[in-house]
Amino acid sequence: MTPRQLTPRRSPARTVPGLLLATARRAPDRIFIRFLDPERSEAPPREITFHGFLSGVARAAAALAGAGLGPGSRLLLAADNSPEWQMLALGAQVLRAEPAAVFASLGAGAAREAALRVGPRVVFASGAAQWEKLAPAGEALKAAGLSLVVTPQQLPVGALPSGVRGLSLAEACGEGARALPQAELEARATAVGEEDPYLLLFTSGTTGRPKGVRLPQRAIVHAIEGGEAATGSDEADRGLHFLPFAHVAGHDQFVLALAEGHELVMFARREDLPRALSLGPTYLFSVPLVYERVRLEVEARLARLPGPLRAAARGLLEGAVRARVDGSRRAGDRARAALAGALLGRAVRRRLGGRVRGLFSGGAPASPALFRFFEGLGIPFVELYGMSETAGLVSSNAFGGPRRAGCAGLITADHELRLAPDGELLLRGPLLFSGYLDEADNREAFTADGFFRTGDVGRVDEEGLIRVEGRKKALLVLSTGKKLCPEPIEVAIAGTPPFQGAVLLGEGRPFVSAVVFVAREEVDRLRAGGLDPAEALLPRARAALGAFSEYEKPKRLVVLRGGPQEHPDLLTPTLKLRREALLEFIGSRLSELYAA
């Protein structure tokens, strides 16, 4: 089956600095960013227009140029999200230098390792605590070319290596700072080419050392053109932005808004989410875990209703899913769908700010149960599939349809897709990165004729839509010779209450087991009743896997109390579970699972 394609609309500007110039000319006074400043939690959002943002980029470019940043050198951004993060990144791009992003949440050792691999000329750290992670490597960074460190406030005397300057954000890109003259800014921005750097960022490192991914300007421009075709967004939208800028999806949303001229409500702290939602976003873009929390809240409220009301509410939801997802034409199901939308759907929309037209999900597969929940309530749930090496986009379901549960959707027209004999998805086209930071990582990344090896196993279904079945490296081979992709099984279990996450085990073993994350109150309830949670929950885990073969269903469980987010040491900065860390965490319990 030939895959169906998203059809993007092309922009005349082919670089992000070019897109910024075009939008700032077209809509200079339109608000681009409403930023909830974590340092001013009681203050109104800080409003920045497109012209104001461009002016900030001009000032950032002047400060970076003064530090010697230019072609062949790098700016390291080890900071939480803020408008100034992007002003500095765009300032570096205008100078044809390479911005490099690392997660602000990285531990000190990982942050230093990444910084030494980047070898930056300039570092932006969001505060003294972030710089302190890098400080033990300060002399080595200086020897590699570091000349300037930018922080929100000036660092104390002696905090930096001798000869390395410190600069506050106000001095670098505040309103009183020196700016590139308008003519010079426009000339430099216009001179940026499609192969010039956009961003260097690192993969999540779920199975090993993170790889440095170098994205050129052309890749991100093609990605947001495909994203526009999938999301149906336009200049009237107001997006909720909170994915970190060390995650490629955070850039896809930012650049899409920049190109279209629509507004972003931006915040960096999780506790500011309710305040951000009160500003009435028209769409959210997030990893599935955030949407799962909303679904679990609703499920918990339904569980507290008296028996007859609980049964009626669940009946409404089930009928709505049959009508809106499964295509039922029965009058009763259509009536239930209308009532579920008016009662439950309206309440969920209010919880999301009251104006949401759709939810967009990426970064990890969403469970079919999550898709069916929101779609049943009349809230479009649009799943996108991509990776850092493809600037965040390979394929997508479409806001205007089709949308399918557990489906990666329509491939963008900018990718040529081929399936390897073992089912691995191979890609070629202008969305691809220009290479890895370390040459050793490039050796096995491409086929002889230039197709990128995604590492994902998938297929094209009978509708011409992409189905991703899991990571090739994650394939489990049992001692019986049976092979299985764990990810669809893990997603199916995680999407079934009371489970909030799952990791399949069984490599080289005679059968499959699973580590499951379960809400604390449910584990406590089972124990208070004298039950072993692992034994009591095993039938529910197996019941969630009715469509799978018997050998794919776990025979034993390890139950971890609390959701994955309550075990931060087991998560990557992109909220994916680290399998090696999990195995170390459960320790001897793994052997006990397979004891005779």
pLDDT tens for 372-392 read 999 999 999 999 999 999 999
Last residue of a domain, which of 407, 439, 473? 473
Between 208 and 483, whose confidence is greater? 483
pLDDT mean over 507-530: 91
514 shares a domain with 398: no
516 shares a domain with 463: no
550 shares a domain with 466: no
The reported pLDDT for the residue numbered 205 is 64
Rg from Cα positions in the chain: 25
The reported pLDDT for the residue numbered 281 is 98
DSSP codes of every residue in 31-60: EEEEEE-TT-TTSPPEEEEHHHHHHHHHHH
DSSP letter (8 states) at residue 137: G
pLDDT mean over 75-87: 97
Query: Residue 231 contacts by C-beta under 8 Å, 6 or more apart in sequence?
Result: 256, 283, 358, 360, 382, 396, 399
User: Which among 283, 290, 291 has a CA at the least distance from the CA of 263?
Assistant: 283
The reported pLDDT for the residue numbered 287 is 86
Regarding pTM above 0.85, the answer is yes
For residue 498, whether the previous peptide bond is cis, meaning omega lies within 30 degrees of 0, is yes
207, pLDDT greater than 60: no
79, pLDDT greater than 90: yes
First to last CA, the chain: 46
pLDDT mean over 528-534: 92
Residue 327: Cβ within 10 Å count:
8
The reported pLDDT for the residue numbered 485 is 83
Q: Is 292 among the domain residues?
A: yes
For residue 402, whether the previous peptide bond is cis, meaning omega lies within 30 degrees of 0, is yes
339 shares a domain with 371: yes
The reported pLDDT for the residue numbered 596 is 56
Q: Residue 102 phi/psi, 5° resolution?
A: -130, 155
Residue range of the domain that includes 503: 476-593
Token pair 């028996």: residue: 307
581 shares a domain with 468: no
H/E segment holding residue 129: helix 128-134
Q: Is 98 among the domain residues?
A: no
> Which of 193-197, 226-230, 447-451, 474-478 bottoms out in mean pLDDT, i.e. has the lowest?
474-478
The reported pLDDT for the residue numbered 146 is 98
396 shares a domain with 541: no
469 shares a domain with 480: no
Q: Is 238 among the domain residues?
A: yes
- Please state, for a pLDDT cut of 70, what percent of the chain lies above it: 99
Biggest distance spanned by C-alpha atoms of the chain: 77
336 shares a domain with 255: yes
Are residues 246 and 277 in contact, defined by beta-carbon separation less than 8 angstroms? no
Last residue of a domain, which of 473, 505, 529? 473
DSSP letter (8 states) at residue 590: H
In this prediction, residue 368 has a pLDDT band, given cuts at 50, 70 and 90, of confident
552, pLDDT greater than 80: yes
For the chain, what is the domain count? 2
Name the H helices within 232-306.
248-260, 273-277, 288-303
Q: Looking at this protein, which amino acid is placed at residue 60? A: A
The reported pLDDT for the residue numbered 206 is 58
pLDDT tens for 241-295 read 999 999 999 999 999 999 999 999 999 988 999 999 999 999 999 988 889 889 8
Query: What CATH number is attached to the domain comprising 569?
Result: 3.30.300.30
Q: Is 155 among the domain residues?
A: no
Q: Is 92 among the domain residues?
A: no
> Which of 17-31, 436-450, 472-486 bottoms out in mean pLDDT, i.e. has the lowest?
472-486
d(C-alpha 318, C-alpha 144), whole Å:
61
Q: Is 143 among the domain residues?
A: no
**Mean pLDDT estimate for the chain:** 92
Are residues 523 and 470 in contact, defined by beta-carbon separation less than 8 angstroms? no
d(C-alpha 24, C-alpha 17), whole Å:
11
Query: What CATH number is attached to the domain comprising 411?
Result: 3.40.50.12780
Are residues 249 and 284 in contact, defined by beta-carbon separation less than 8 angstroms? no
d(C-alpha 409, C-alpha 230), whole Å:
10
pLDDT tens for 110-155 read 999 999 999 999 999 999 999 999 999 999 999 999 999 999 999 9
Query: Residue 446 contacts by C-beta under 8 Å, 6 or more apart in sequence?
Result: 452, 453
User: Which among 272, 60, 89 has a CA at the least distance from the CA of 177?
Assistant: 60
Name the H helices within 553-596.
579-586, 589-593
Q: Is 182 among the domain residues?
A: no
527 shares a domain with 467: no
569, pLDDT greater than 70: yes
pLDDT mean over 436-460: 93
403 shares a domain with 321: yes
- Please state, for a pLDDT cut of 90, what percent of the chain lies above it: 73
Give me the torsion for CA of 458, 460, 461, 462, rounded to 10°.
-160
For residue 191, what are its two tokens? 């001179």
The reported pLDDT for the residue numbered 369 is 86
The reported pLDDT for the residue numbered 184 is 97
The reported pLDDT for the residue numbered 151 is 97
Are residues 337 and 324 in contact, defined by beta-carbon separation less than 8 angstroms? yes
The reported pLDDT for the residue numbered 208 is 64
pLDDT mean over 25-53: 94
Between 322 and 488, whose confidence is greater? 322
User: Which among 436, 231, 407 has a CA at the least distance from the CA of 325?
Assistant: 407
554 shares a domain with 481: yes
421 shares a domain with 272: yes
pLDDT mean over 396-421: 92
Q: Is 239 among the domain residues?
A: yes
H/E segment holding residue 510: none
The reported pLDDT for the residue numbered 477 is 81
196, pLDDT greater than 70: yes
